[in-house]
Every structure is written in structure tokens, then in C-alpha cells.
Amino acid sequence: MPVLNIIQAVNDALRLEMRRDSRVVVLGEDVGKFGGVFRATNGLFDEFGPDRVIDTPLAEAGIIGAAIGMALYGLKPVPEIQFADFIYPAYDQIVNELAKFRYRSGGQYPAPVVIRTPYGGGIRGGHYHSQSPEAYFAHTPGLKVVIPSNPYDAKGLLLSSIRGEDPVIFMEPKRVYRASKGEVPEGDYTVPLGKAKIVREGAQVTLLCYGAMVHTCIEAAEKAAAEGFDPEIIDLRTLLPLDTETILESVRKTGRVVIAHEAPKTCGYGAELAAMIAEKALMSLEAPIARVAGFDTPFPYTLENEYLPSPDRVAAAIKTTASF
């Protein structure tokens, strides 16, 4: 079984699905001859040509608007927004048009648009190339929000997303694009949306995370375990739909929760997780829910490592929560 990184897994998924389904098209800035700024679409232009791998102007609203039109006429577009920070010009198209087509048409018009975009910090991109805007989209009915943490899930989740009939915001953690490597089956397989994964089994604290933060939390758990603590790590994989069953089952077992994400703490996705747990498993909690997140500031360039939740910060939260 080949060992791939996330970029290679995404490329493999796109190539496989474009071969399988002639309706699938890729479009975005530099995705064609150049192969994408992170090389995720490398080689697709040579195999499928300019009609299916389309270089667009630097106009995010136009990219997503065009993709919506393609979907309504029977295609399955996979537009790329080069950095999640630049998705905001297309925000109106996404939340006011794309997310509402199935609802406003009574289900007559599907909207199978999968918007791929790299998100998060860790590459010294500064405040215009490091944001984590997942909560904006998780707040929008009609969208699915998917965030893989490793190559196996990246390929399987992307294939599931493209084969669905709903719009998907597919956010890729660029900090671990090449650092996260693993065995990825050749050929076809899918990972279902809405199903979390228990990365590490434990009995003392439930640690909720997604994307690049999964790797941070694994390192934090190892640090905490060396001191006798026993955290359980859950990789959410999809924020919408959310696998509440797996989360609540773990919380009822451990009685304690730590949530980690890169986005700012205020109104970050961790707040929704904490509220859901408090509503549905309050009597199982034996300690306050802890959130380890980015700070409520623009993403800093020179203080990037201080801003990002570190293994030490997460490990400290695990130990404090477990000892409460």
C-alpha cells in the first residue's frame, strides 16, 4: 500500500473521481498548468485538459458563482480557493445562494459543489494566509463542513463529498499538507461524512479536535500520559454533520472534556461543542469544559508559535481538567 501525504491523497482522489465521472470539473486560481500553489492539482490539466481543469481569474466570487451555475446544469464542480483567507469575497455566493438551492427549490435542484481550501497557520503566512474560518460556515444551514487530518481520511472524505448532492466546504490543514503521511489504499474507497474517529482510547479526559490540531493533541496526550494521565482523542473529521453520538459516549465515559482548535476562542467551533455537551451530558461532567484555542486577535506573523495551541498548552489543559 503506498504511503502518501495529504496533498498526494487529495490529488489521487481528484484524479480517480475525474476518471470515474466525466461531470467532475476542477476550477480555481493556478489549478491548471501550474498544478495549484500547493500542487494539489498537479498533472490534472495534462490528463483532462482545459475544459475540465480550468484556470480562473483572481476573483473568488466569480469562481464560486461559476461553480454554482455548473452544478445547476448537471456538472460536479470542485472549485479551489487558494487560501481560506480569500474565501470571503465568495461568502455571499456560498451562504446566500449555494447553501440555499436545495431548500428554496424543494429539493429539485441539487448543489453538488465541493469547495476545497487550505486553512490554518503554521507556514508563516501572516494574518492573510493563516486564518481558520470554519465556524462561519458551520453556522450556515445547507452546508457540510469537512476537515481531514491525515491522508487516508483526506482521500476518502473528498470522494464522499464529491459523490454527494450537497455543497461541502472541504478545509485542508496546510500546516500538515506534507508532514502528515500514511498508508492510502490505491483505487476507490470512501470515508462517510458525519462519523468521528477515536484516535486514542482513554478513560480520563475526552480531547476533541480536528485538522492539524489532531497532531498537536496526539503529542499533548503523549506528554500527559508520561505523567500518568489517560486522555481519549476524538478526531471530529466533519463539523457538519457532527457525530454527537461518539462525542457523548466518550464524555459519559470520561466525565471531562478538553476542546482544541486554532481559530479564536470567542464563538469558535469549540463553543458549540461545549454547549452541546452541556445540554446533553451535563450530569456526566465532573469538571468544567476546557477550551484551548487561538487568541482573539488577528493571526500574528512574528508570534505565530505563541498564537497556535501548542502540545504544552493542550497537555496543561488535560492535566488541569483531569485533576479537577
Amino acid (1-letter code) at residue 290 = A
Quick check: 318 and 225 in contact, CB under 8 A?
A: no
Q: What are the two backbone dihedrals, phi and then psi, of residue 236, each rounded to the nearest 5 degrees? A: -65, -35
Q: What is the end-to-end Cα distance of the chain in Å, rounded?
A: 45
| DSSP H/E element including 90 | none
Q: Which of 129, 139, 215, 261 is catalytic?
A: 129
CA atoms within a 13 Å half-sphere pointing along the CA-CB vector of 245:
3
| Secondary structure class of 127 (helix, strand, coil) | helix
Element (H, E) at 146: strand 144-146
Q: How far is CA 265 from the centre of its chain?
A: 17
Residues facing 164 on adjacent strands: none
Task: Tell me how far apart the alpha carbons of residues 95 and 101 are, in angstroms, rounded to a whole number.
Answer: 10
What does the radius of gyration of the chain's CA atoms come to, in whole angstroms? 19
The single-letter DSSP state of residue 190 is -
Copy the grid coordinates of residue 14: 481528484
Contact between 199 and 234 (Cβ < 8 Å) = yes
The number of angstroms, rounded, from the C-alpha of 239 to the middle of its chain's C-alpha atoms is: 8
215: annotated active-site residue = no
> Catalytic amino acids?
129
